[in-house]
Amino acid sequence: MSEDDESVDQSETSEEWASAMDEQNQSGQNNDKGVDPLSARAQTIDGAKAVEMDELTSDVSPSGNGAPDLDVIMDIPVSISMEVGNTEISIRNLLQLNQGSVIELDRLAGEPLDVLVNGTLIAHGEVVVVNEKFGIRMTDVISPSERIKKLR
């Protein structure tokens, strides 16, 4: 871009700012006369008119019964994982791991696995095999109130 192009761009920008400032000053003058500045400003921009927004109601469901509409969130995907156990090791030991290495976990054999949804514990379960695939049978589901307490 040449210097001439830059000066033209700067002068156009200056003119736009000057125009916007004039509009604002006109709105301020209209406000002294009891005119709503938002509607006055909206009417000056491309012939648009200001409209009143509907007030929010406490009724959040389309059915009108006052209960929240859970259908809105039913299709949101979440990540579910099962944790066999965990442990902490040093980076030195991590780098020494190779095929056949065994890492000792903090759980006993036969102890229930943790079921996590987006990293939050929601249940405990045991491993089962269904059609030659692993699955988990829920043995203890944590109540919603307990889950909320853990979040705090």
Q: How many CB atoms lie within 10 A of CB 123?
A: 19
pLDDT at 74: 85
pLDDT at 125: 93
Identity of residue 102: V
Q: What is the DSSP secondary structure assignment for residue 126, as one 8-state letter?
A: E
Mapped onto helix, strand or coil, the DSSP state of residue 3 is helix
pLDDT at 145: 83
Structural contact between residues 84 and 134, judged by C-beta atoms closer than 8 angstroms:
no
pLDDT at 57: 47
Can you list the domains of the chain with their CATH numbers? 75-97+108-151 (2.30.330.10)
- For the chain, list residues with pLDDT below 50: 30-33, 37-44, 55-59
**Residue carrying structure tokens 């976990």:** 105
